Amino acid sequence: MPGFSVHARFLVFAGFLAVTTHAQTNLLTVQSGEKQTALLELYSSEGCSSCPPAEEWLSKLKESPGLWREFVPVAFHVDYWDYLGWRDRWGTKYFSNRQRDYAAHWRSDSVYTPGFVLNGSEWRDWSNHKTVPTAGGVKSGVLMASSSDTNHWRVTYAPAMAGETRYEAHAALLSGGLVSDVKAGENRGRKLSHDFVALNLVSAPMVRDGDSLAGEFAFGPHDDAANGRLAIAVWVTKKGHLEPLQAAGGWLNSAPR
């Protein structure tokens, strides 16, 4: 679907190889390794006839052994195709504006769907890959988040290189196994399935805490979109930048039966 010119909604979290619950404290903890984990973003819309193949490709990543360990996928649904007759219930102007911020960073005057962003760079070659390219073993430091109630989270980041750089943490609540019966627009009559859909997005500053940096998040109630399989994605950037330095993610519940 051709692009056109058109920022994201909010939450918290993190993860990596697994989500660990400590029985004694009921503390939920997720974290990355020291090497950089890639952040893969898909900008998509149910109003875009060329998006279903990209969504299907993204869904297959559920079976990839590199999921959460080597890459963290997030699908941001945009709202700028809603005018074609079908309102994407996962789409928001905040996610559209996030994609526009990327376009402005790349000195592009348009955005399009489906659009993949890999580690802050436009990635058009996704259809020729079965999985996500790794970040090349770059040491970025350890990113970790923990919560005792899955509502309030503490995020810490120990960068591989010491310095006085200011950082921000970003996190999203994801839902999978979502299905829509599209009744209008370019995908009229189709049943569309989605995974790794961002329900919310939140950003917060990180402050120095000894040799690491720390931040805290809290997220409010979500709508019934969260009745699928939930996951958490978290990443850290330099303050005011879009490019992720480290990312992490993990499932929060089992796949619905």
Tens-digit pLDDT profile for residues 188-225: 999 999 999 999 899 989 999 888 999 998 776 665 55
Distance of CA 159 to the CA centre of its chain: 21
Closest CA to 212 of 158, 250, 253, 251: 158
pLDDT for residue 15? 35
Query: Would the pLDDT of 149 be above 80?
Result: no
pLDDT interval class at 256 (50, 70, 90) = low
Mean pLDDT of 154-161: 92
Average pLDDT, the chain: 86
- According to DSSP, the residues that pair with 76 across neighbouring strands are 43
Cα–Cα distance for residue pair 157/145, rounded to 1 Å = 9
What average pLDDT does the segment 136-151 reach? 85
- Residues 171/143, Cβ–Cβ less than 8 Å: no
What is the token pair recorded at 108? 């592009």
pLDDT at 26: 72
**Cα atoms in the 13 Å half-sphere on the side-chain side of 57:** 20
- Tens of pLDDT, residues 18-60: 344 444 457 878 899 999 999 999 999 999 999 999 999 999 9
pLDDT exceeds 70 at position 9:
no
* Beta partners for residue 78, in sequence order: 92
| CA–CA distance, 256 with 229 (Å, rounded to integer) | 6
Higher pLDDT, 112 or 255: 112
Cβ neighbours for 176, distance < 8 A, ≥ 6 positions apart: 59, 62, 194, 195, 196, 197, 228, 229, 230, 231, 255
What pLDDT score does 73 carry?
A: 98
* pLDDT of residue 96 exceeding 50: yes
Q: How many CA atoms lie within 13 A of 15 on its CB side?
A: 28
Query: What percent of the chain is helix, strand and coil (3-state, nearest 5)?
Result: 15, 40, 45
pLDDT for residue 150 is more than 90: no
pLDDT in the model for residue 222: 61
Average pLDDT of span 225-243:
87
